[in-house]
Amino acid sequence: MDRRTFMLTGACLATAAGGAWPWLAQAAACADDARAFAIVDSTLECGASFARYAAHLRLPTFETGDDAGALWFTTLAPLLDVGRTPHAMPALIGFTRASDYFVLQHLALRTGRFVEHRHEAREGLDAQPAHVAFALTPRSAR
């Protein structure tokens, strides 16, 4: 990666992720026996940059496509339920449309194994979110 690409990608991700950036970076860099899974909508303005960031970290990356629910039930849920204990649960980090995040958030949080961190980018005061940068991190055992 050349310097210009690095600078443009870094600025785009920092702006897009907003307040969720520390959680995204921490979840992506976890050194446990569990890795983070990256979920991205590459059709979004900074989606391709996020996908390159995840690829650079060698994270398994999943495209939301047209149906986030189908992604959850056909791909993510089976990967998350393979006899994992809560401390070995991978984080889910992503950059998606608000509608896709809504579906993924509800499906992931209902398992009781994740904690939510997110930043929603809005176009105006009363506008709906344009995109959501998020980290669904494993709930710590108490």
Residues 45-88: tens digit of each pLDDT: 888 888 888 888 888 999 999 899 999 999 999 888 755 555 57
Coil, strand or helix at 81: coil
Tell me how far apart the alpha carbons of residues 43 and 63 are, in angstroms, rounded to a whole number. Answer: 10
What distance lies between CA 87 and its chain's CA centroid? 19
Give me the residue label for tokens 């980290």: 135
At residue 61, the pLDDT reads: 93
Cβ–Cβ under 8 Å, residues 102 and 94? no
Of 139, 121, 140, 137, the residue nearest 46 (C-alpha)? 121
Tell me the longest C-alpha to C-alpha distance in the chain. 45
CA 40 distance to own-chain centroid: 7
More confident residue, 7 or 87: 87
Q: Is pLDDT above 60 for 14?
A: no
Pick 120 or 13 by higher pLDDT: 120
Rounded to 10 degrees, what is the CA torsion of 128, 68, 94, 109?
90
- In whole angstroms, give the CA distance from residue 61 to residue 40: 7
Residue 5 CA: distances (Å) to CA of 12, 49, 76:
10, 10, 30
